[in-house]
Structure formats: structure tokens, C-alpha cells
Structure 1
Amino acid sequence: MKITSLSSNITDLVFALHNQDVIAYPTEAVFGLGCDPEKKYAVQALLKLKKRSWEKGFILVAAHYTQLKKYINNEALNEAIKTRIFSSWPGPITWVIPAHPATPIWITGTHKSIAVRVSAFEPIQRLSLAFGKALISTSANLTGQPPAMTAEEIREQFGTAFPVLEEAIAGQKKPSIILDALSGKVIRNN
């Protein structure tokens, strides 16, 4: 994996994303690791860094729905489902939605669905808007370890040169709720 210099500058982080690097950024509850979801090399680097199986798939986080639209099978969503989803966004709700058939397997894993969230958290909004598209979002930790809560913990786990948006998390006590869009069932409510 390529490493760029430590930076809280959005321009530098966007450059790192375009360079297929993995970056860290604050989310609503913990620090997240992210990369360009369309770049297989970047996603593979993230999987290797986290020691995570590709089969699980990833959450995509975005500033607005249009950044997620191409990954979603809109034909599988009726108006009632769309109303339910859009009434919760932007916000800390992640929806599992049928994936568009062209969505890469390195994003969906072994699933025919995709987990997506439009975040209201300003640092995620700013980063996603500057990058121009959605980001992979997974907790910043090695699999099985507690997620990083600060930029300092990122440096301790991943090295001092790791690209990180050095701002505070939003302070939510738990990660986003994950709901199934078609059934409305709760998948994760920690």
C-alpha cells in the first residue's frame, strides 16, 4: 500500500484517495478507514491492512444519494421503500439495499445487496463532496481489535505517516444502525 504524509488537509486526502491509498476519517461514532470503492487495488489494500475477508462486503458512505445511485438496484425499490430510506437521510442509518448488477464484488462481497449511508456528519460530507463520490467506510482497526476513537489511535495502529482527517468523531455511543430496506428489519442495532 502506498502511504502519503500525515495530513488533515482535505486536498491531500482527496489526492491520496485518487492515488488508491487508504485513509482514515472520523465518523459519527468511531474513526473509519476508507478508499475509492471503484478501485480494486485500493479495496484490496484496505482488506490487507485490516486483515478482513473480502466476503463480508463494505458500507459505502456519501454526502448525498446521487453518489450512491449507481451502486443500487433502483428497480427493486418501490415508492414506500424509497420514502422510508430518504426520510432517514442524511443521518446515522445504514440501509442494506439490492445492489446494481454492475456493482463490483469487492464492494458487495458474497452478497447481492449493498450497505449504504448518506451521512449528516460534516467531516464526511466535506470529504465525500471534495472527492466527488462515495467512500468505503469500515471501522479503523485490525479485525477483532477495538476501533480507533482518535487520530492518535490511528497513528498508534497504522503508523505516523498514515493519511488521516484529524478531526473529532461526532460522539455517538454506537455505530450506525443497519436496516434491511426491503423488509425494514434491523440487522445491527448496537
Structure 2
Amino acid sequence: MKPFPRILAAADQRRLTAHLQRNGLVAYPTESCYGLGCLPTAVRAVKQLIRLKKRPQHKGMIVIGADFSQLQPLLRPSEKNAALLQQPQTLPTTFLLPASRKITPTLRGSRRNKLAVRIPAHAGAKRLCRMLQTPLVSTSCNQAGKKPCRSEREVRRLFGRRVWVVGGLVGRYKQPSRIIDGETGKRLR
């Protein structure tokens, strides 16, 4: 297996972009496992992802972006948001930040007004967002309560052709990203 970040050919980038715009799902390596994602603005795709994972619908999703500028439209304007997301982290860190009013409960979670966002520490996941010029939903690639996929082979065995798989190696972390409430500083995971 080639190490990630594998460079997608221009034609593959266009096909993957079109796939995502048609409410498609994508699996890709992250810091600790394969992530399963879609466009955060594609409500049908987010619902499809929830069904595929057999995930409780009240839980929110994490959204990753290559940099703060990709995540900014999903959040309420705040200098604190920018500062939190742009400061270097020693561990993969997801922040719960006030969501833009445009963000649906399907993405942020029912009865929640914050969105979980992260600039990934995994070079491949960050590069994928940069290549596609969009943030991506990023939840562990598994079915609820099961062990997350750590290889392209595991993803294909579990989900077959239902997701577009971007191959590569997952990072060295054994645990998912920590989650910090950006307003209170409290660690939630």
C-alpha cells in the first residue's frame, strides 16, 4: 500500500468531487482510523452516512477542513474560533464551537448549537480537503459500536461500493481526537 497522502490524478479529483456533489460518501485515512465523510452541506448525504453507520441521529458529526478558512463559513463569526483552530496542537483536537445558523441539526446534533470541527493532524486528510476545496464530515469508518477500519481493505470489506475509498495509511494515534468545548475549555473526550 502506498503511503498517504497519495496524489489523486486530476481526473480522479473531478470524479470524486462530482461523486460528493451527488450526495456520495468517501472514506479516507485520518490520525487514528479511516474516516467516513461527505460534504457537510449535503443533508441527504449526512443522513445516508448516519443510516450506513447505524449511528444514533441525535449525535452530531465532526467536520474537518484544511485550514480555518474552510471551516469558517460553518461557524458563527468569532476571533476566538479562529485563534483556537489556528493554534498548534500536540494531539489531534476537535473543538465544539458555535455553529452558523445555517447548519442543520442533522450535522450538529439535535438540541445542540455547536459544531465539532478540526483541522486534521493527518497530512493526507488535510491534503484531501485542500484538493477538493471543501471541508468534509469526518466520523470513524465503522458501524456504531464496532471497531473502526484501519485499512483500505477493511473499508472495502465493510462498505463495498457504497463509498469512494481514498487509499493510504492511517496515522499513529490509537485513540480518536480529543474533543474540547471551545467556550468553556472543558475536555469532553
Q: How far apart, in 1, do the equivalents of 2:55 and 2:46 lie?
A: 11
1:43 corresponds in structure 2 to 46
Q: 1:184 to 1:143 in 2, by over 3 A?
A: same
Secondary structure in structure 1 of the residue aligned to 2:138: strand
Once the 2 structures are TM-superposed, how far is the Cα of residue 133 of structure 1 from its aligned partner? Answer: 1.3
1:95 corresponds in structure 2 to 95
Give a deviation string over 1:54-85, Cα, whole Å, max 9, x none: 2101000010101111111124x54xx65344
1:125 corresponds in structure 2 to 126
Secondary structure in structure 1 of the residue aligned to 2:51: helix
Q: How far apart, in 2, do the equivalents of 1:134 and 1:180 lie?
A: 20
Question: Which of 56, 64, 85 matches 1:61?
Answer: 64
Letter in 2 for 1:86: Q
Q: Give percent identity, aligned residues only.
A: 31
Letter in 2 for 1:94: T
Q: State the superposition RMSD in angstroms.
A: 2.0
TM-score normalised over the length of structure 1: 0.85
Q: How far apart, in 1, do the equivalents of 2:33 and 2:174 lie?
A: 9
Q: How far apart, in 2, do the equivalents of 1:51 and 1:167 lie?
A: 25
Q: Tell whether the 8 Å contact from 2:28 to 2:34 is kept in structure 1 after alignment.
A: yes
Q: 1:21 to 1:183 in 2, by over 3 A?
A: same
Query: Structure 1: which 4+ aligned runs deviate by more than 2 Å?
Result: 12-15, 81-86, 88-91
* Structure 2 residues not aligned, in runs of 5+: 1-7
Once the 2 structures are TM-superposed, how far is the Cα of residue 149 of structure 1 from its aligned partner? Answer: 0.6
Secondary structure in structure 2 of the residue aligned to 1:33: strand
TM-score normalised over the length of structure 2: 0.86
2:183 corresponds in structure 1 to 182
Q: How far apart, in 2, do the equivalents of 1:105 and 1:112 lie?
A: 8
Q: How far apart, in 1, do the equivalents of 2:48 and 2:82 lie?
A: 34
Q: Tell whether the 8 Å contact from 1:177 to 1:186 is kept in structure 2 after alignment.
A: yes
Q: Tell whether the 8 Å contact from 1:96 to 1:181 is kept in structure 2 after alignment.
A: yes
Q: Tell whether the 8 Å contact from 1:13 to 1:165 is kept in structure 2 after alignment.
A: no
Once the 2 structures are TM-superposed, how far is the Cα of residue 130 of structure 1 from its aligned partner? Answer: 2.0
Q: Tell whether the 8 Å contact from 1:20 to 1:42 is kept in structure 2 after alignment.
A: yes
Secondary structure in structure 2 of the residue aligned to 1:115: strand
* Structure 1 residues not aligned, in runs of 5+: 1-7
Question: Which of 10, 14, 18 matches 2:17?
Answer: 14
